[in-house]
Amino acid sequence: MLERTWQIARASGADQVVVATDDDRIEEACRSFSAEVVRTDPECANGTERVHQALERLGSPAEVVLNLQGDAVLTPPWVLSALLEVMKADSLVTMATPAVRISIDQYRQLKSQKDSGIVGGTMVVFDRQYNALYFSKSMIPFLRSTGGGDPPLYRHIGLYAYRRDTLERYLSLEPGELENTEGLEQLRALENGIGIRVVVVDYQGRTHGSVDSETDVPIVEAIIEREGELVPRPLPVQQ
């Protein structure tokens, strides 16, 4: 799984791909396929803190940083590329995150899951310049009427690209009331006036998902078997 995710990151066009970990087993696995690794403290509260610490320990001069979780094995590389392109094209964009447009049927299916107690899935609304207005585990916007065409329904994908100074500012801030209420760390940025550019992406028929528990492994394996590898894997070396 980790090697596949690493290959996806490399295929994005990023200048450097580094695995940040505090685990000996993960480091050993990364070394086996020649990935660059940096060790971080187990005390890091989340992936955002781990990314920042990795930058410091690497002594990296990188201005733009993208945080991809190691379990995001189904994330197409072109989604990562889209974030990096937006950050490079506009220096005023300090933070970016992807979203996919969903249909009314998909919206209603997600709402039904939430009504039954399944919390997963975050919605986002944004202005005409694609700047995020709000993220929520609730189904936003509320569908008061669907008579005026396809409503703007967007499901958030939990990936973030930051400018380095924005990452440092974000980590200096305390969680706010909205973040604590929704359990969404990106709301800390909005509560403190840090803009988040939403990049609308197309999964091109690929299935979105990640490995959040052992029960997800056979599900993800079946998706890869059915849809094929996102990045072709190198053939094993013949002995």
- At 141-184, the pLDDT tens digits run 998 876 667 899 999 999 999 999 999 999 999 999 999 999 99
Q: Is the pLDDT of residue 84 over 70?
A: yes
pLDDT digits (tens, 9 = 90+) for 10-45: 999 999 999 999 999 999 999 999 999 999 999 888
Cis amide bond preceding 76, omega within 30: no
CB-based contacts of 106: which residues, under 8 Å, 6+ apart? 153, 155
pTM of the model: 0.90
CA distance 184 to 52: 19
CA distance 3 to 67: 16
pLDDT at 239: 42
pLDDT at 95: 97
pLDDT at 135: 97
Domains annotated for the chain, with CATH where assigned, are 2-227 (3.90.550.10)
